[in-house]
Amino acid sequence: MATAQEVKVLTHFIGGEMVEGKSGRFGSVYNPTTGEIIAKVPLATAEETRAAIEQAQAAFPAWRDLSVAKRAEVLLKFRNLLTENMDKLLQIICTESGKTIEDAKGEVTRGIESVDLAIGAPHLMKGEYSVNVGGQINAYSAKYPLGVVAAISPFNFPIMVPLAQTSMAVAVGNAVILKASERVPMTALFVSELWKKAGLPDGIWTVVNGDKDAVNELLENPAVQAISFVGSTPVARYIYETGAKYGKRVTALGGGKNNMIVMPDADLEQVADAFIGAAYGAASQRCMAISTLMPVGEETADRIVAILKKKIAELKVGSYTEPDTDFGPVISQQSKEAVLAAIERGEAEGAEVVWDGRELPIVKESKGFFVGPTLLDHVKPGMEIYEQEVFGPARNIVRVASLEEAIELINRHELGNGVTIFTNDGAAARKFTTEIDVGMVGVNVPIPIPVGYHNFAGFKGSRFGDGVMFGPEQVRFFTKTKTISERWTAPVSTASTFAFPSND
């Protein structure tokens, strides 16, 4: 355990400054690789959060009134600062999340895609114009920012998700408050410094660290116009229901139980490599990670299991500082215990452990929060490990007799985040993409996460509200549209008319 002198006390970022917490309450930030406490993060009170909202509200009008081209210039400077500070970002992300350098770099790159899209706000904010719709009247629509908006982000992507939630919101003229995960607050605070260097006016970007007290103030405060949330499904439902109750726009993205269907005609060596990366990367702490492999037919299942056993045995679990590490620890001791418990319950319910990651020396001996790659076969619908999202490297195989059975099982599940199929049969792929009731669909793609300029959102219990993360739909979510009808005529004396305006 780190000594008190080594533990950094973090701050909030309010009004363009690092601001000490006043609540007297702190959360512990761990290095998951070592199990050591590396920082204390202040947990804001409702009053502190309210004060931050007021500062954001005061800063909003000037940013709204700045031309969208000038706002885009700030976004471009911010983007350049992200790339210039890549090494520093990677070090922070790896230290507080346990990710490998390669994984963290991929995350930053994906986050920059959202900034790239937001730089194009001058184009994306264009409205519509109609000439002489009737009686010399022209009609047009125009997009305006909402005001103060908030984002509540998860621990598993310390920079990609916050950038995806906020970049467009800033670009279209809003003041943004980020409630970063208290498990990975250091990345958000460093990003705050980059926003300031980029020339973003004080108060337009705010980071409030906290727990439920801060979240509830964001949900209930009338000055906050919209909420973007990414996290677990139960919390997403709470965020959506509470935010909607207080009249806010809400996009709340929840969890996923993502499936990979394997048809008999697929290249199984290719499938095995794709599954391992998609299933175990980032210690399986991705909402788009593949949870379940669904081979069609017993022969396909037996062959892919034999291949996977050999490949999983070669995976290296360890610190991001060690060369060739495939993935690191889960985020906390509680997460490690939850994953281990899920494996035990799967065994108890009749699943067969094909590869047992609990037996690795690093799992038993390290103070870090390591769990080895684990694969369970002969899992059935109804088993907890199939029905519930396991946020850690415990993956399962559900054997199906046909593509139709696979589609039926997936569509019946309460979550609908991501799904993919591996096949060389175009007809099977077409049937799959047409009939599957899931938001993000892949064909021979291991993780069907869209690029930053396409919309990201699941279906069913994976998404509450009608907004998205990534993509041009964010412009609609973070703006309000005014439709204006106007007529300019030469001064003429006319009589009053009381009929409803029409083209007659």
What three-state secondary structure class fits 250? strand
What three-state secondary structure class fits 36? strand
272: in domain: yes
497: in domain: no
Q: What is the pTM of this model?
A: 0.92
The reply to whether 307 and 350 lie within a common domain is yes
Look at residue 266 and tell me whether its pLDDT is greater than 50: yes
47: in domain: yes
pLDDT at 490: 73
What three-state secondary structure class fits 137? strand
Average pLDDT, the chain: 94
User: One of 287, 301, 400, 436 is an active-site residue; which one?
Assistant: 287
Task: For 40-65, write each residue's pLDDT tens digit.
Answer: 999 999 999 999 999 999 999 999 99
The reply to whether 20 and 146 lie within a common domain is yes
Look at residue 2 and tell me whether its pLDDT is greater than 50: no
Task: For 135-188, write each residue's pLDDT tens digit.
Answer: 889 999 999 999 999 999 999 999 999 999 999 999 999 999 999 999 999 999
419: in domain: yes
The b/e string for 297-313 (b: 16+ C-beta within 10 A; e otherwise) is eeebbebbbebbeeebe
20: in domain: yes
Which of 256, 262, 200, 239 is CA-nearest to residue 428? 262
451: in domain: no
490: in domain: no
Q: Is 94 one of the catalytic residues?
A: no
Taking residues 87-99, report their average pLDDT. 97
At 197, which amino acid appears? Answer: K
Residue 162 lies in domain: 4-254+462-483
Residues pairing with 464 in the sheet: 252
345: in domain: yes
Residues 92, 98, 101: CA angle, nearest 5 degrees: 65
CATH of the domain at 113: 3.40.605.10
Count of domains for the chain: 2
The reply to whether 348 and 285 lie within a common domain is yes
Token digits of residue 289: 């990670």
d(CA 381, CA 364): 31
CATH of the domain at 387: 3.40.309.10
The reply to whether 250 and 267 lie within a common domain is no
The reply to whether 130 and 72 lie within a common domain is yes
The dihedrals phi and psi of 127, each to the nearest 5 degrees, come to: -95, -160
d(CA 386, CA 350): 12
Query: Which of 12-16, 314-318, 438-442 shows the lowest mean pLDDT across its residues?
Result: 438-442
The reply to whether 365 and 397 lie within a common domain is yes
The reply to whether 64 and 83 lie within a common domain is yes
Q: Cβ atoms within 10 A of the Cβ of 203, count?
A: 22
The reply to whether 201 and 123 lie within a common domain is yes
